[in-house]
Amino acid sequence: MSSATVTTTNAANPANPGNAPGLTGAGRVRHAFNSILPAIILSIVVLVVWEAISRIFKLPQFVLPAPSSIGKILITRQASLSQAAWVTAEEILYGFLLSAVVGMLIAVTIARFERMGRAVYPLMVLFQNVPKIALAPLFILWFGYDLAPKILLIVVMAFFPVALNMLVGLQSADPNLVTLMRTVGASRTEILMRVQIPNSLPYLMSGIKIAITLSVIGAIVGEFAGASAGLGYMIQFASTQMETSLVFAALIQISLLGMFFYYAIEFIEWKYISWAPKL
């Protein structure tokens, strides 16, 4: 399997300002601020133009609300938005953690047991091609409207990048080092634990970053299919009431929630596996 199939992150990418080498303390903060400054400026320009268009053309609020109207909703309805965000965050966290565990177990199983890997890998790829949104109503039918169907939907959406990226990392371990381990009598399990798994960690983190974004999508799709709380439910309810400002406010809340989880993983990567080469 070619490592070209893996989606990775680059340390030089401005989306990863915290990974700048040779910077500590205030220097790292300044570098991070300078990295995100263009995005801040562009966002301000977009909001100003959006506000101007809304006012000049007097667009109806239910068609395209002005940013000022959305901001007002974010403030006045923050209590209900925060409560809904907490429900969605719980679904994302549990589903993401379970999908990460499932993905890692599948990758290790395929790498450790060759025959089982030849059987499992095609089925994993086949399952990945099943449209996940079509599974949501089935999960609701089987497991009800509680937490379980949302978590299960997140798992089936998010486990694949974890499994695939980690598997590439396991299979791309230095063959010379693997041969050396074999010559000193190391078992396949020892080679897996001491060589392959450490080598796979940067790949695994790349897969986990993709998985957390898919987990956010999975939670919202699950709430669209059937829920009584959460940001997805709020968006669906607000749409039926023509409260477009509330829809946009919930979308902003979801985006902020996704960014929080993503950069939490970035921090964990920087904190605990900073020794690994950045992909």
Dist CA 79 CA 13 (whole Å): 36
Number of domains composing the chain:
2
Task: Mark whether 222 and 135 lie in a shared domain.
Answer: yes
Residue 241 corresponds to which tokens in the numbers above? 């009431």
Dist CA 127 CA 147 (whole Å): 23
Task: Mark whether 101 and 230 lie in a shared domain.
Answer: yes
Task: Mark whether 189 and 221 lie in a shared domain.
Answer: yes
Residue 106 corresponds to which tokens in the numbers above? 């599948």
In a domain, 88, yes or no: yes
Domain of 250 in residue numbering reads as: 65-272
Give pLDDT, residue 2: 41
Distances (CA, A) of 164 to 13, 107, 235, 244, 254: 23, 7, 33, 39, 27
Give pLDDT, residue 215: 95
CA quadruple 13, 17, 19, 20: dihedral, nearest 10: 90
In a domain, 32, yes or no: yes
Model pLDDT for residues 140-164, shown as the tens digit of each residue = 888 888 888 999 999 999 999 999 9
Please give the DSSP secondary-structure letter assigned to residue 278: P
∠ CA 91-143-90, nearest 5°, is 10
Mean pLDDT for the stretch of residues 206-216: 95
pTM: 0.82
Task: Mark whether 107 and 241 lie in a shared domain.
Answer: yes
Looking up residue 77, the CATH number of its domain turns out to be 1.10.3720.10
Task: Mark whether 77 and 141 lie in a shared domain.
Answer: yes
Mean pLDDT for the stretch of residues 125-152: 86
Task: Mark whether 213 and 163 lie in a shared domain.
Answer: yes
In a domain, 2, yes or no: no
